[in-house]
Amino acid sequence: MNLRLNLIFILITVITITLLSRVYFLSIKSNTYYEELSKNNYINRINKIPIRGIIEDRNGEKLAINEMGFAILIKPHLSSFKHKEQLEEIVDLIIKHFPEYEKDKLIKEYKRNDSSYNHEFIKIIDYIPYETFFPKYTVLASQEDIKIESSTKRFYPQKEVASHVIGYVGKASKLDILNNELSSYNGIIGKNGLEKYYNSKLQGEMGYKDVKVNALNQEIEVLAEKEPSTDNNIKISLDINLQKYIQQIFTAKSGAVIVMDVNNGELLAAASFPEFDNNIFARGISVKEWNEMRNDFNHPFTNKIINGLYPPGSVIKMGVAISFLENGIKDNYTVNCSGSLPIGNRNFRCWKTTGHGTVNFRKAISESCDDFFYKGSLKIGINKISQTLDKFGFGQQTGVDQINEFVGINPNKEWKEKKHNQPWYVGETVITSIGQGNMLTTPLQIARYTAYISTGKLPKPHFYKANYEEPKDLNTPFEYLDLMRKGMYDVSYAQRGTARRYINSKVTIASKTGTAQVISIPQSEKVRMKESELKYYQRSHAWITTYGPFKNPQYAVTVLVEHGGSGGEATGEIASNIYDKLYELGYITSTE
């Protein structure tokens, strides 16, 4: 009996303690929780969105700016059927003043962003220019259901000049917003070029204002405040006037031009042709415009500076020659060029079918003798050549501050085995030694390697100082580089130099021309087909890569003309004119 009473007593005690605990939680703990929640409900954070930073060239010329205007917002919670007429009246009023907008689209945009959880006004028009909106400001701003906010639109005052480098902004996608919180507030994000690479810098940091409000959402007190960042502008190394000059003198359909400071990697000019006006993306490109540009055979959307992949042709020969010297071939090595070299059942022709006679390193560069490189490559093999070219940056990114830079192809035996599951053939070594076959490079890789030959140090190309790195010393012996430099001097000035007829600058220039075949011409043919006999898109690409002044190198200039035919003929005058412009602008102070 006593045991039963004790059990009943214990049970009652446990129930009582449980009930008391619950009462305590509801009366004390929950009260504290809801009190804190109540406080939070009456503290509002107002985000302060930074204005996107501007982009300037080295002299302060504006490349990307913001045009001021206004955005229109409507108060929330009007999506229900009960408020249908009210919402339509508000939208009708807006369209009365701005008839270019469609009612259905504005209502759809409103409903897409409206929800019971959202208590902020909803933006339905992102941007109306200041001069268009200002006469209507008073009428719309007086409506309690409408809110007017200042807004900006990206504008590119240079239009198509340097469009690939500068890039453009666009409407932030759902993925963009997921990865970038600030883009959810201002609605835009960098999509390409410097606008994308330095998007975080240009966006800046968001500010805020924490305010205490009453039940009517009226501000009572400012609790904390932080202004958005204002140090989000960037000044880049481009000289837009030099870039405009290059645009004027480059009359070919397609190609690229690069002007690089050989001592630090600064890019004074970087032009990809054809160009396009970035403003079409900032305002929103039409389907028609997009299709026209996408289907253009000259590929205006492709940034040929970093995304154009081309056989380097003979401009690679200095790198291959250095590989010969590094791998046991003496600097007094000579060959007798008869115009062709038989290997097995194939005959590998020199571009000069009558032959160059006795050829040493210097003459091999100045007259671009293919036979010299055929025979030297057979002595050291493709892997040794590939190793040397790897040091010079081929087959890898240069590190320039642009997005999605291509690496090209620096082929060797392992590459072919992995890529094609096939063995490497000796004929491939021969054609790779003159920059044909599987080898592909970008114009920027060629410009960077040219800078290395001129100074003995490999720079990192860049547009913005934050991306600068100290040039790398690859420890190539001076005498090897000196031999290449003398050969490049002869390209410009020796009697049989391949650019002699086209180099006419007051600045002394070292150069190397190249003609990169687009289609394969059978080696069995005794005479090459003339470029003029080929259809335009079958003609060879024309290269010239240069540095100057010769005795005191300051700049490398690399020019590629797609389907330009002969290297020196299509590119030499362009390069010469650029050096004269550099001298005129004061970048080059000595012609020697």
Same domain for 392 and 513? yes
* Residues 6+ positions from 409 with CB-CB distance below 8 Å: 309, 395, 415, 438, 439, 440
Domain CATH code at residue 282: 3.40.710.10
Q: Which of 105, 124, 151 is the last residue of a domain?
A: 151
Same domain for 187 and 106? no
Residue 29, pLDDT > 80, answer no
Q: Letter for the amino acid at 502?
A: Y
pTM of the model: 0.88
Q: Letter for the amino acid at 83?
A: H
Same domain for 184 and 247? no
Which pLDDT band holds residue 19 (cuts at 50, 70, 90)? low
Average pLDDT, the chain: 90
Let me know if residue 24 belongs to a domain: no
Let me know if residue 572 belongs to a domain: yes
Same domain for 336 and 414? yes
Q: How many separate domains does the chain show?
A: 3
Let me know if residue 1 belongs to a domain: no
CA 228 to centroid of chain Cα atoms = 27
Which pLDDT band holds residue 532 (cuts at 50, 70, 90)? low
Residue 16, pLDDT > 60, answer no
Please give the residue range of the domain that contains residue 98.
Answer: 70-151
Across 100-104, 166-170, 445-449, 561-565, which has the greatest mean pLDDT? 445-449
Which pLDDT band holds residue 319 (cuts at 50, 70, 90)? very high
Same domain for 564 and 577? yes
Let me know if residue 11 belongs to a domain: no
Q: Report pLDDT digits (tens) over 51-105.
A: 999 999 999 999 999 999 999 999 988 888 888 889 999 999 999 999 999 999 9
Let me know if residue 265 belongs to a domain: yes
Same domain for 359 and 499? yes
Residue 455, pLDDT > 80, answer yes
Calculate mean pLDDT across residues 338-354.
94
Burial class (CB in 10 A: 0-12, 13-18, 19+), 93: middle
Same domain for 287 and 170? no
Q: Pick left, alpha or beta for residue 379 (phi over 0 → left; psi -120 to 50 → alpha; otherwise beta).
A: alpha
Q: Letter for the amino acid at 466?
A: A
CA distances from 161 to 167, 247, 274, 294 (A): 11, 7, 10, 19
Calculate mean pLDDT across residues 37-44.
58
Let me know if residue 17 belongs to a domain: no
Same domain for 142 and 217? no
Q: Report pLDDT digits (tens) over 478-497.
A: 999 999 999 999 999 999 99
Let me know if residue 116 belongs to a domain: yes
**pLDDT given at position 22:** 54
Which pLDDT band holds residue 18 (cuts at 50, 70, 90)? low
Same domain for 394 and 518? yes
Calculate mean pLDDT across residues 456-483.
97
Question: What are the φ/ψ torsions at residue 416 (nearest 5 degrees)?
Answer: -65, -40
Same domain for 189 and 135? no
Let me know if residue 34 belongs to a domain: no
Same domain for 428 and 545? yes
DSSP annotation string for 260-294: EETTT-BEEEEEEES---THHHHH---HHHHHHHH
Higher pLDDT, 61 or 114: 61
Element (H, E) at 513: strand 510-516
Q: Which of 112, 128, 151 is the last residue of a domain?
A: 151
Residue 376, pLDDT > 60, answer yes
Cα distance between residue 513 and residue 99, in whole Å: 59
Q: Which of 101, 127, 151 is the last residue of a domain?
A: 151
Q: Lowest mean pLDDT: which of 127-131, 309-313, 331-335, 448-452?
A: 127-131
Calculate mean pLDDT across residues 569-592.
96
Domain CATH code at residue 229: 3.90.1310.10
Q: Report pLDDT digits (tens) over 156-188.
A: 999 999 999 999 999 888 888 888 878 777 778
Same domain for 430 and 494? yes
Higher pLDDT, 413 or 119: 413
**pLDDT given at position 33:** 44
